Amino acid sequence: MMIYETIIGLEIHVELDTKSKIFCSCSTEFGAKPNENTCPVCTGIPGTLPILNREVVTLAIKAGAALSCEINIVSKTDRKNYFYPDLPKAYQISQYDIPICKDGFLEIDLRDRNKKINITRVHIEEDAGKLIHLDDEPFTLVDYNRAGVPLIEIVTEPDFRSAEEAVTFLKKLKSILKYIEVSDCRMEQGSLRCDANISIREIGQRAYNKKVEIKNLNSFKEVGRALKEEERRQKELYNFGDGYRIKQETRKWDVVRGITLAMRSKEDAHDYRFFPEPDLPAIHIKKELIEEIRNTLPELPNKKARRFMDEYDLNEKEVEILVSDKGLADYFEKVVAMGCRPKDVSNWIVVEVLRSIKKAEVREIKAESLGKLIRLVDQGTISRLVGKAVLRDIIESGKDPEEIIIEKGLSQISGEDELKKIVDRVISKNPKAIEDLKNGKNKAIGFLVGQIMKETNGKANPAMAKDMLIKNLNET
C-alpha cells in the first residue's frame, strides 16, 4: 500500500462589520425582513452605479495587517461573471489580479511545533443574495438583503497536511478577526464561511494531483469531518487504482450522511471571464493610512498570551483559554483590576464561570459580581463550595453576591461553639471512621471533614473543622 500525504488549502469568506453595504447605503443588518435592505444598486437594476464604501477598504487593510500581508498601494476591482439567481447583476464585483493584500502568513500552534501557513491574498468582494427553496412548492424565493454585503476573501497556500491543521488555523484566524473587530465571525449566521481544496499525493511526488473543492462548511466541526471523509475517499480510490476517477470538481458536504457528494465540475478562472470593473476607479491607498492602521492594531492573541503569563504568572493552558476570545480576556483583566489575585480569577473563570454559563445558556456574569464573589471567598466569609452555589444563584437571579449570602444565611460557620457541636455529632455518628483513623487510616479524616461539610450545607470552614476534629480525637 502506498503512503500518501494530504494537501489542503482554504478559502475563507468573512462578512465585514460595516453599517452599510459595499456599493450602496443599504443596511447590512442580519435578520431583517426579506428584501427590506435593498435598493436599485444592490438588486442590479441597469443604469445604476456602484460607489465603494471606504470602511470596507479600511477593514480589509486591518485584516491584511494582522495577517502580516503586504498592502498594495493601488489595487483594482474586477467582474467575475457567472449566472445564478442569487446574483442579480450576473457578475460579482471582486478583485482578480491585484488584491488589496497579498503575501501574508499566520503561525499556528500544533502539538509539538509551530507551523507557518502562507496567505496568498486577501481581497474584497460583494456577497450574493440567498435563495429559499420551499418544500412542496414549485418555485424558489430570493432574498437580496445579503446581496452587496461586503466580504473579504482570505486565500491560503496549500500548506495544510491534515484536517486538524486546517481547523487549528481557522480557529486562530477567527479569534484574530474578532480581536481586530473586522467581523463578528458568527459561523452559524454565515459571517465566516469556509471552502476547502483537498488532494492526495504519494509521499515524494512533487506535482499535485487533481483537487476537490468542498463548499460552504459552516462550523469547525464540519470542516474537520468533511476533510477527513474526503481524504479517506480519495485515498481509497488511489489504493484501488481508481485515482483517475477523482475529478477537479466541487463537492458538497452532507452533514447527516457524513459523505461528500459531487455538485458540479469546478470552473477554471477563465470560465468566469474576469475583466476590470469599468464602473469603479482603481483603489488608491495612502501610505499614511496603512501605517496608521498597522500602528493601532490591538494586542493580538499571541502577544496577549505572553503578557498574561509574565504579568499574572498563569500557566499556558489557562492562558490559552482566556485569550481565545478578546471579550473573555478583557473580562479577566477587569476582575483582576478589582483587586483579586490573578490566579484565583483565572481559576474561577476557567473552572466555574465558563461551565456555569454554558449550562445555564446565559451570555455572561457581570465582572463586578464575580470580583465581589472571589473576594468574599478569599476573606473567608463563605467557603469555596458555597461560593459555587452563590455563582449559580447570580446566574439565575442576577442578584449581587452579598445580597444572596445575607438572604440565604450562607456566611461561614466560624464560631467555635457552633462548629464544636457539629463536630461532636459527626464523631458520634461515625464510629467506624473513628476506628479506621485510630488504626492509622488517615483517609478517614477527609471523610469526616466531608461529613461536617454536609451537615452544615458547606458552611463550615473546612480547615477549622479539620483542626477541631483532630483536637477532639486527641483529647479522647
* Residues in contact with Zn ion by the rule CB under 5 A: 24, 26, 39, 41-42
Orientation of helix 367-378 relative to helix 326-336, angle to 10°: 50
Which residue number places its CB atom closest to Mn ion?
A: 153
**Residue nearer to Mn ion on the CB measure, 153 or 230:** 153
Measure CA 339 to chain center. Answer: 29
Q: What is the DSSP string of 156-168?
A: E-S-B-SHHHHHH
Is-contact 404 394, C-beta < 8 A? yes
- With CB cut-offs between 5 and 8 Å by kind, which of Zn ion, Mn ion, none does residue 153 bind? Mn ion
Distance of closest approach, residue 20 Cβ to Zn ion, in angstroms: 8
Give the C-alpha separation, 91 to 147, whole Å: 12
Is-contact 165 56, C-beta < 8 A? no
- With CB cut-offs between 5 and 8 Å by kind, which of Mn ion, Zn ion, none does residue 26 bind? Zn ion
Distance of closest approach, residue 127 Cβ to Mn ion, in angstroms: 9
Cβ-count burial of 439 within 10 angstroms (0-12 exposed, 13-18 middle, 19+ buried)? exposed
Cβ-count burial of 398 within 10 angstroms (0-12 exposed, 13-18 middle, 19+ buried)? exposed
- With CB cut-offs between 5 and 8 Å by kind, which of Mn ion, Zn ion, none does residue 338 bind? none
The residues that touch Mn ion, with contacts defined as CB under 5 A, are 153
Set of cell numbers at residue 225: 469531518
**Residue nearer to Mn ion on the CB measure, 125 or 231:** 125
Cβ-count burial of 442 within 10 angstroms (0-12 exposed, 13-18 middle, 19+ buried)? exposed
- With CB cut-offs between 5 and 8 Å by kind, which of Zn ion, Mn ion, none does residue 42 bind? Zn ion
Distance of closest approach, residue 13 Cβ to Mn ion, in angstroms: 6
Distance of closest approach, residue 10 Cβ to Mn ion, in angstroms: 12
- With CB cut-offs between 5 and 8 Å by kind, which of Zn ion, Mn ion, none does residue 163 bind? none
Residue with cell 454565515: 190
Distance of closest approach, residue 146 Cβ to Zn ion, in angstroms: 11
Distance of closest approach, residue 18 Cβ to Zn ion, in angstroms: 13
**Residue nearer to Zn ion on the CB measure, 92 or 234:** 92
Q: What is the DSSP string of 57-86?
A: HHHHHHHHHHTT-EE-SEE--EEEE---TT
DSSP H or E run through 294: helix 287-295
Distance of closest approach, residue 152 Cβ to Zn ion, in angstroms: 19
**Residue nearer to Mn ion on the CB measure, 13 or 392:** 13
Distance of closest approach, residue 153 Cβ to Mn ion, in angstroms: 4
- With CB cut-offs between 5 and 8 Å by kind, which of Mn ion, Zn ion, none does residue 386 bind? none
- With CB cut-offs between 5 and 8 Å by kind, which of Zn ion, Mn ion, none does residue 452 bind? none
CA distances 252 to 63, 128, 261, Å, are 28, 18, 5
**Residue nearer to Mn ion on the CB measure, 15 or 153:** 153
**Residue nearer to Zn ion on the CB measure, 24 or 192:** 24
**Residue nearer to Mn ion on the CB measure, 153 or 159:** 153
Distance of closest approach, residue 227 Cβ to Mn ion, in angstroms: 20
Give the C-alpha separation, 175 to 186, whole Å: 11
Is-contact 27 146, C-beta < 8 A? no
Measure CA 199 to chain center. Answer: 27
As beta bridge partners, residue 265 has: 249
Distance of closest approach, residue 99 Cβ to Mn ion, in angstroms: 11
Q: What is the DSSP string of 198-243?
A: EEEEETT--S----EEEEEE-SHHHHHHHHHHHHHHHHHHHHTT-G
- With CB cut-offs between 5 and 8 Å by kind, which of Zn ion, Mn ion, none does residue 336 bind? none
Give the C-alpha separation, 26 to 36, whole Å: 9
**Residue nearer to Zn ion on the CB measure, 51 or 110:** 51
Distance of closest approach, residue 126 Cβ to Mn ion, in angstroms: 9
**Residue nearer to Mn ion on the CB measure, 153 or 455:** 153
Give the C-alpha separation, 339 to 274, whole Å: 59
**Residue nearer to Zn ion on the CB measure, 26 or 283:** 26
Give the C-alpha separation, 129 to 21, whole Å: 12
Is-contact 423 452, C-beta < 8 A? yes
**Residue nearer to Zn ion on the CB measure, 24 or 71:** 24
